[in-house]
Structure 1
């Protein structure tokens, strides 16, 4: 059974139009309105004025032409990296891989094996499994 406090709370939250109220609350609100007409009419009148003011202040959606111009301007500004930047990234990556590979081979078999083991030892860490699970979750 709905009381005045609950009715007033719902009225403040959803406004005077019962169509905006949760479906489960509407029957109780209608029954309360029938049995307490004076209280509900006063409360509804107060909140009804606020609803009208808020509805009048609502911004109108932009015209189709304006929306189209905004989207076109955004698409015109979207660019990919220039050719020279892509080439520089490939060269830097190649140089890093080449120097790393060459440096490991110059260090002798024992040192390169140790460097390899250190580089990939973190894959046995339990935190690595959490990272893999997170990435799998993001991809899906």
Structure 2
């Protein structure tokens, strides 16, 4: 790599070495370490151009132009593409699984809770029956 090659690449890829192809970037970084002044001169104009382009106002697209483009695409028979055609089907199948799991949770919760309540009631009755030697005044104070 030399200063002329680096200047040519800077005109094509810009002043930021991160945007350059990897092989060229490694060679440019090595050249920058060996000749920092020459590398800085080669990149200076490209960095100024990058800064000017970044500062330039971006044109706003009018709603009428957007509507015309969409209408012409629709007239040509084009449709909007989904990101992943099978995604909707996959979401429905996954949603059905979640719904089934939720329903199963409700059913098991009801069944187990009613059995648990019966067991607690049975324990209370057995405990009260075992306290036969005491009357209510002794228990309640």
Structure with more contact order per residue of length (Cα contacts < 8 Å, sep ≥ 6): 2
Bigger Rg, which one: 2
Normalising by structure 2, we get a TM-score of 0.43
Normalising by structure 1, we get a TM-score of 0.43
